[in-house]
Chains A and B, each alone.
Chain A
Amino acid sequence: MGSLIEVVYFVAVALFILGLKRMSSPRHAREGIVWAGIGMVAATVATFFVPNLENFGLMIAAIIIGSGIAFVSGKRVAMTDMPQMIALYNGMGGGAAAAIAAVELLKMSGNHAEMSHSMITIQLAVAGAVIGTVSFSGSLIAFAKLQGWLRKAVRFPYQQLANLVVFVGMVSTGVYLAFVGVDIGIIIFFFLLALAFGVMVTIPIGGADMPVVISLFNALTGLAVAFEGFVLNNAAMIIAGTVVGAAGTLLTQLMAKAMNRPISNVLFGSFGASGGGAEEEVEGSLKPIEAPDAAVMMAFAEKVIIVPGYGMAVAQAQHKIWEMSKQLIDNGVDVKFAIHPVAGRMPGHMNVLLAEAGVPYDRILDLDEINEDFATTDVVLVIGANDVVNPVARSNPESPIYGMPILNADYAKNVIVIKRGKGAGFSGIENALFYNDNTRMLYGDGQEMANQLIQGIKEL
């Protein structure tokens, strides 16, 4: 039986890797997740046949309850809220890895004498426990932030010092467990410190950096799973966890690179909180425009580029925006969508939303592909985007977003900005683009304004 289970695990792991490979090309992406899903079901079923297992009632109950909650919440969540759901489910995985470690450590504390576990097993269990727990509490904070339950980046004096103290405490208790002895009191203290560290590391991070952080926690959970795989002698967990750890690390790097922010800065820097430079007054004034006038501008343009941001997602305006774009295309206007790598709350977030609305791929362009085109564009429609079009990133070395590549919307002949109200973007920085002479502000809800634009174009 044992070897048959091993064969199933082997097939499952192969399906995971092939599935992940498939997911990295748009054409086969959907098959990829189905393959991985088949692998997961097979591995789960096989595990019921592992010899000498007990507590099947509890096991089945936990699977049914957990699956039920996740299935319903996953199906119900709006596309706009996907990023925080990923954070949430990732946190669950980290918590599971930590709980496995807890069970194993509790076992070890129970039988000091006939120590069946080797030293290295305990050390790996402890390492997986730290990583999993930090990923668990950190992901929950990331979820709370993106969900809007925790608005601000929380900072207090001597924060770095406090983090350091907790970190040192966590590592020392971990080292004690791993090298000196396993004791139940210390186990509890150790997990509390790890929970606290995950929270403390995540609360000061601004919302704009969240995607990078979630990706990092994703990689960490993978690593924790791999470590617990070593402890349980389970090759499927080792391989799948490590693959995710490596892939997640690379993804994190790609994202951080797109934002031009080294990962160390994201974690230990102070994005959006630096004083001085960011507070600087922007010259000029905000010039409002009404929807019918904006509609005329776009309908008679030759080339229009639409720059969507998180605001579009919040307003659920993607369908209306695409409807409007189709009208413009029928009028002979060349309409393109420009996606900044970190537009929205996650790389690719906007692509997903536009794909949902039915926008074809060839109209959606990356920063590198489209940035040259802004200079020859008649109208740029910015909807719900802010920091990714802020020219301050190019001009003001004092600004916290200085050096981040931006979409050069300010080079276009005209810019129309749909915005719910005055106020700064997620990073809290004033946007110089909004004050430019060729920029007009269209104040209102994204979907409502898109509706009015559709009406305006219709009436021409």
Chain B
Amino acid sequence: MIESISGISAVYIFLLAAFAGYEVIAKVPVILHTPLMSGSNFIHGIVLVGAMVALGHAEGTTEQVVGFFAVLLAAMNAVGGYVVTERMLEMFKSSKEKKNG
């Protein structure tokens, strides 16, 4: 189905993604540490995609049950992470506007 990612290119992807993650966070004011942790928590909610594939390929009851929980937990990670981050950042927006207005 999907083009396979060969060994060495996987290592390159890993390396470059690590640099990207490091750079993006490098200059962050303390004020945003909590929202940012929450935001990155949301982003690893992408595990949902993998959980869906795992459940989609599951055969037999055991695999299905474990796969079901994978999707359930992943969905909680993604949705919960989004809601909490959004609520935190919403407040930053309002205080900013108050200040400007």
Task: Decide if A352 touches B91 in the complex (CB within 8 Å).
Answer: yes
A127 located at the interface, meaning its Cβ lies under 8 Å from any Cβ of chain B in the complex: no
What is the bound-complex CA distance between A410 and B1, given in angstroms? 66
On chain A, the residues within 8 Å of B60 by CB distance are 110
Interface of A is mostly: helix
Task: Decide if A92 touches B21 in the complex (CB within 8 Å).
Answer: no
What is the bound-complex CA distance between A135 and B49, given in angstroms? 19
Residue in A23, A52, A346, A349 whose beta carbon sits within 8 Å of that of B39 in the complex? A23
Interface of B is mostly: helix
On chain A, the residues within 8 Å of B7 by CB distance are 120
Write out, one digit per residue, whether chain A residues 1-24 have a CB within 8 A of any chain B CB (1) or not (0): 011011001001000110111011
Residue in B25, B72, B86 whose beta carbon sits within 8 Å of that of A247 in the complex? B25
What is the bound-complex CA distance between A242 and B62, given in angstroms? 29
**Contacting chain B: which of A81-89, A375-383, A434-442?**
A81-89
Shortest distance from the beta carbon of B87 to any chain A beta carbon, whole Å: 7
On chain A, the residues within 8 Å of B29 by CB distance are 26
Using known A-B contacts A17-B24, A226-B14, A352-B91, determine if residue A70 contacts B34 with beta carbons closer than 8 Å. no
On chain A, the residues within 8 Å of B52 by CB distance are 44, 47-48, 50, 53, 59, 63
On chain B, the residues within 8 Å of A273 by CB distance are none
What is the bound-complex CA distance between A79 and B83, given in angstroms? 12
Shortest distance from the beta carbon of A353 to any chain B beta carbon, whole Å: 9
Shortest distance from the beta carbon of B62 to any chain A beta carbon, whole Å: 6
A173 located at the interface, meaning its Cβ lies under 8 Å from any Cβ of chain B in the complex: no
Task: Decide if B95 touches A85 in the complex (CB within 8 Å).
Answer: no
Highest count of chain A CB atoms <10 Å: which of B22, B50, B69:
B50
Task: Decide if B87 touches A74 in the complex (CB within 8 Å).
Answer: yes
Using known A-B contacts A69-B76, A346-B34, determine if residue A250 contacts B22 with beta carbons closer than 8 Å. yes
Which A residues between 211 and 260 are near B, CB-CB below 8 angstroms?
Answer: 214-215, 218, 221-222, 225-226, 228-230, 232-251, 254-255, 258
Using known A-B contacts A27-B96, A237-B50, determine if residue A225 contacts B44 with beta carbons closer than 8 Å. yes
Residue in B2, B25, B85 whose beta carbon sits within 8 Å of that of A2 in the complex? B2
A277 located at the interface, meaning its Cβ lies under 8 Å from any Cβ of chain B in the complex: no
What is the bound-complex CA distance between A96 and B51, given in angstroms? 7
Shortest distance from the beta carbon of B82 to any chain A beta carbon, whole Å: 5
Write out, one digit per residue, whether chain A residues 54-69 have a CB within 8 A of any chain B CB (1) or not (0): 1110110111011101
What is the bound-complex CA distance between A79 and B35, given in angstroms? 12
On chain B, the residues within 8 Å of A243 by CB distance are 17-18, 20-21, 24, 40, 43
A40 located at the interface, meaning its Cβ lies under 8 Å from any Cβ of chain B in the complex: yes
What is the bound-complex CA distance between A218 and B58, given in angstroms? 27
What is the bound-complex CA distance between A104 and B63, given in angstroms? 9
Shortest distance from the beta carbon of A65 to any chain B beta carbon, whole Å: 6
Using known A-B contacts A245-B18, A247-B22, determine if residue A366 contacts B30 with beta carbons closer than 8 Å. yes
Q: Could you show 12 A-B contacts with beta carbons less than 8 Å apart?
A: A6-B3, A19-B43, A53-B57, A63-B75, A90-B77, A96-B47, A99-B67, A103-B58, A221-B44, A222-B40, A243-B24, A248-B37
Top 6 nearest A-B pairs (CB, nearest first) are A53-B56, A66-B75, A246-B21, A74-B83, A70-B80, A99-B70
